[in-house]
Amino acid sequence: MRKRRLLSAAALVVAVTVAITACTSTATDDEESTESPTLRIGSSAAPESFDPAELSLGVEIPQFWMLTYDTLLKLNADGTVSPNLATEWSYDESNTKLEVTLRDDVTFTDGAPLNAEAVKANIEHIQAGAGRDKAYADAIAATNVVDDFTVEFELSEPDPMLLTNLARNIGAVGSPEALTTEAIKTTPVGSGPYILDTAATVVGSNYTYDRNPDYWNSEAWPYDRIELLVYTDLTARVNALKAGQVDATWIDGSTAAEVEASGLTVTSSPAEWVGMKINDRAGAVVPALGDLRVRQAINMAFDSQAMLENIDLGFGSLTNVTVLPGSNGFVEALQGTYEYDPDGARKLLAEAGYPDGFDLPMPQFPFRAAYNPTIESALGDIGIRVIWKDFAPTETVQQLYDPTNAMFMTALNGARESWDFYSSAVTPDASGNIAQSTDPELEALLDTARSSSEEDREQANQAVQTWLVENAWFAPWYYRDTVYATSDAVTFEPQFGDALPLISTFAPANSK
């Protein structure tokens, strides 16, 4: 019997019952479910390093390092945070000092104690390193040791994402003695629930983790062993799942029917919005894009419903908003601001002085190949002539951050805290704001959102979102669901606004 679960963002906190076979090489299925369960997950990528300064949030990579490193706070499936290594925390009135109280019963796997000095050493190690995500710690001007188990983060400015980031890679804590060693890149020394079995691990191919016998919260982790197996090819991951070589893996809408036909379970949930990223809002490269009417016309050019059905096979829902429902910046009233209306779009272009349209150079990303013909056709229908720019595969990242690329398709993850999106794609210094677009009114709204108290933050974030939609800084089509497949008997919770569930939410079905 096949199952498909299509979950709304509001339903993400509901545990999803799916099937997973937890088996070991020495036990029967019945024995394993109670004696020595093993969870095997197929991954599309492998970690580059286990150095805390180089931990990544990309694709499935957090699944690898979150097993060995505990974080100061715990990221929950619904996007909220809760105590973990930190038992309590509080801000001062200015939101520029955060005091954190640590557990006093935690040790690293090398026997060293986890304390305030260890936290300080890790934050400073991250800030001094060259990791891609070190900017998430930029607001921390100083890490002060108050006493053995109390640390204070002194901030250069309020950072609405700090608590969330302390539940991610910035909050991962490794043994101070291991931080400066070369071995830390392949042999993590943390205080997490599992220890990487380096003898059973083949770097880049398969990673084996055994339970940490001294872990302070072992009852929260039901598996004695977890194996992460790397299959960079989607077909290979699907075949591994069908053959019983893995119990769960990330797929996409194009393979969902095949997986379901094999008697496996497909679960989908909102994770990201897809659409056009209009980078050149000032019109420096393509002058037409500096006109609001042109950007509005682009929003009206795409038949998003047809694209959702034909390209992503219905796995998603339409949106004009760039944060997910359930995020603290979501505004329901903005949905429907731009409807598919090519005639209206052509009229707006004419009013803006472009009755015959204009040329629009655009990078042709291979990983967007399924969308490129529709992008060219939809824009061409209203008079915008796409001129595709080809480039070598090794230049992909460079193209994503090249400010001369006036517009291209994007897919951006959602988050519970909308500042996650604003700080990465909207603020003038955001890495995703590649043309450093700005506007005085928007900057004032962003300043308010950045410094708002938790009680006022939702309203402030909604004001930013309203401005972005009304000024057509982006042209979203729809929320695209993440699609996850499993075999037969485990519970897990999809993660709010992310492509993959947290491994901490997996459990054998018979344990519930």
Residues 389, 286 share a domain: yes
Digit-coded pLDDT (tens) for 10-33:
343 333 333 333 333 333 344 444
**Are β-strands 150-155 and 194-196 bridged in parallel, bridged antiparallel, or unpaired?**
unpaired
Looking at 126, 161, 181, the residue that finishes a domain is 181
Residues 442, 309 share a domain: yes
Residues 312, 420 share a domain: yes
**Residue 414 domain-assigned (yes or no):** yes
Residues 282, 165 share a domain: no
**Residue 463 domain-assigned (yes or no):** yes
Reported as a pLDDT band with limits 50, 70 and 90, residue 35 is low
Nearest residue to 304 via CA among 371, 216, 241, 210: 371
3-state helix, strand, coil in the chain (%, to 5): 35, 25, 45
73 alpha carbon, distance to own chain's centre: 17
Residues 381, 275 share a domain: yes
pLDDT of residue 489: 65
Does residue 298 contact residue 472 with C-beta atoms inside 8 Å? yes
Q: Which has the minimum average pLDDT: 294-298, 357-361, 497-501?
A: 497-501
Residue with the two structure tokens 């993850």: 413
Residues 407, 276 share a domain: yes
Q: Which residues contact 336 (CB under 8 A, 6 or more apart)?
A: 320
pLDDT of residue 87: 99
**Residue 246 domain-assigned (yes or no):** no
Residues 431, 316 share a domain: yes
Residues 284, 137 share a domain: no
**Residue 187 domain-assigned (yes or no):** no
**Residue 509 domain-assigned (yes or no):** no
**Residue 329 domain-assigned (yes or no):** yes
**Residue 238 domain-assigned (yes or no):** no
Task: Write down the pTM of the prediction.
Answer: 0.81
334 alpha carbon, distance to own chain's centre: 24
Please indicate whether residue 78 or residue 129 has the higher confidence score (pLDDT).
129
For the purposes of burial, counting CB atoms within 10 Å of the CB of 25, is it exposed (0-12), middle (13-18) or buried (19 or more)? exposed
Residues 292, 156 share a domain: no
Nearest residue to 19 via CA among 263, 204, 255: 263
pLDDT of residue 116: 99
pLDDT of residue 8: 41
Nearest residue to 59 via CA among 329, 312, 271: 271
Looking at 181, 209, 226, the residue that finishes a domain is 181
pLDDT of residue 468: 98
Percent of the chain with pLDDT over 90: 75
Reported as a pLDDT band with limits 50, 70 and 90, residue 36 is low
Nearest residue to 178 via CA among 47, 46, 50: 50
In total, how many domains does the chain have? Answer: 2
- Across 366-385, average pLDDT: 95
Instruction: Provide the CATH number for the domain around residue 90.
Output: 3.40.190.10
Residues 177, 276 share a domain: no
**Residue 476 domain-assigned (yes or no):** yes
Report the mean per-residue pLDDT for the chain.
90
Instruction: Provide the CATH number for the domain around residue 396.
Output: 3.10.105.10
3-state secondary structure of 462: helix
Which residue type sits at 357? G
Rounded Cα–Cα distance for residues 204 and 146 (Å): 41
> 455 lies in which domain range?
271-481
Residues 172, 275 share a domain: no
Looking at 181, 200, 217, the residue that finishes a domain is 181
Residues 439, 327 share a domain: yes
DSSP E strands in 52-170: the ranges are 73-75, 81-83, 86-91, 97-102, 140-147, 150-155
